[in-house]
Structure 1
């Protein structure tokens, strides 16, 4: 018998791999549409889903036969699928209504009144499951081993497309970076070469009236300009832009404006379910300047989910964002503030040291104990800083500062 709310043994490693891919969960609806339909046809079920599971939420990135985008991780069946041993062929529940773990779930007690479930892990590498491909039905189904094997093949294709999506994003980033390098080179070389041409034109225009001393001075200037071009060429050739790219792991870009839209769309349903007012705002200055995605969706998403978890019905969660543009870097500042239960000094220390443990939310939500640890790890990996202001019973403010080098 599997325990309630199981966790993969390598849960933090799994979450880090998911964050490394830096996926936008809304990108896959169309690209996976054919696979969800195929899975349902193979299994003979009414419904199929492709689910990715993070610290708090199951994201249905593609669906067939049902309109579903997300649900709390603790309510999902797929949380069991990602925890099955590697030698087990998926996870199957023949009657959800008679299983103590699922009989009271909303999708069993009310529409769509589901009965049958079979899920296959989405295995990105040995022992790491990003989520699950699952098929469901209102009636009992009998899926043969051959069909289960076919579903595993479809799950493998899902993972292949995720890998391709990531590779294309990385390539787009390299192309963008190459264009930036090209523009920089063109700008830096244009000045010295323009100076050389200008001096040569002066000598040509003055013709016979040129004095030897002036000509020698012009030649010295030309030599200096030419030398600076050679030095610049040497500098360009000696730089390894591939290594510099590793400092920016994200292939995609955001602006404060687009980031606000994504966060509002993705986390509003969680807020509405608890009658919490979620407000995401940004300062207009520099709001349209692009910056690398750099796992910001994972960082802010986990903080928002955590704030919603610990804020009672009717409370508020405010997310504020701003960017400061300096000569050699941009500074991103974020704040996630809530009117929730607050945090003790001891708990704040645990969070900042990356050893936070699971606790139960105000709506009896299950905590998995990895969301804030993941946030701490990701912020540190970006050379950022996390500051927490809170007192028990007075809400919390999570303040993040992340530098982005030009």
Structure 2
């Protein structure tokens, strides 16, 4: 099964996990690579911000097609002005019409229109957030231009003067014989000049207002008698985008993410330069005082301090990012926006966990990683760890169980925090790399004496497994095994830290794995047995004993 920082492994035969050496100088800690790593981190932050920016814009789309039910069709011609032109609608094909120009007036015309929102003709549709219209149709006729006509309520300043009369807005477009697809910007719609002249309106008062559009029509332009045309419309699509208040907050969050990433990169590179300066000075002093061994020891100490300082510097802006994401997640967001905010929050929490692992490694290297032994309730701790992973396992459809042998002592003396950390790392990897089947934690007694017991903790899964030749690699920091598709996110630190903790407990970490069949991690260590704390007896005031 692929592995990384948090992965587990196993093999057909039991293989004892061998240490890869102490946490000394490693290629993955060469600070010459820090600049590249910082650039990658900044690129990831910019990518997150770009995804946020894209999702911040809400697209509005209004489609009129033969399947639509939000309009009523009608045809019109110059007949009402004394002309003889005839426009006809094909009853068998919605949005199909034809026209015969027969003259009889100075400017013959005909057309075909859609009465929008036929059930509420006094209101119309709001087109203010729409920016373009795309017409897809088939055309046959002598003319090479048509006109898109939009009738909307006049601007508020003119509505009292014009009453219910609609303002005709038009834009001309070229056509060719046969199939056409025309995309027009709605910003080019302009009032019909004859209408403006008839009402004696100044141009400054006739700016188009599309908050109430009632009619969308297509008419002839400069038609001549005799002439004929036929047109079949596939659809008319109005599109636009806008930024809501919640989306504005998303944009701010994306900008904050980029600024935070830039700050972190700047700090990391600055600390890298300071570290290199200190390293040169330490090397020079070491050559003068004690030679190569003293220089290596000083450099290792400086490296550990650098890791601790850098991790601390990363925590502050990361906590801010996670806090803003948590706050934003409590606002009114749609599904797409909430998914983006949740991704930011979970990614920040994941990165924060990775930083905690780096701090543990720094403590181990500096010799400051200590186990603090104290009595604690082992069974309660195991139950708590099981409850932590039961829901994630159920969400993936996995069987999950915790099996504690009856002779396992109720209380032991050990570092409870580190015991939990070992079990959490192993169970987390098991669930992460298991897609079907189940994950089980089994606890049993290997041997027991009056005041101590050697316990065995087994984490077994039916995941993807790990090949035998890759078992050593899973315990090396910042390494992942398996192909790219089977790897999971992480820094590659979890199993390395787990092995160090088990060794500090004078225990053994044993791994069995077979690719495609799952893995089994076994931890054995000796524990001092403690007496469980007596349960508190309830006191019932005022109730006599029976």
The verdict on a shared fold, with TM-score over 0.5 as the criterion, is no
Band of TM-score, shorter chain:
0.3 to 0.5
Q: TM-score, normalised by structure 2?
A: 0.32
Task: Pick the structure with more strand per residue.
Answer: 2
Higher relative contact order (CA closer than 8 Å, sequence separation 6+):
2
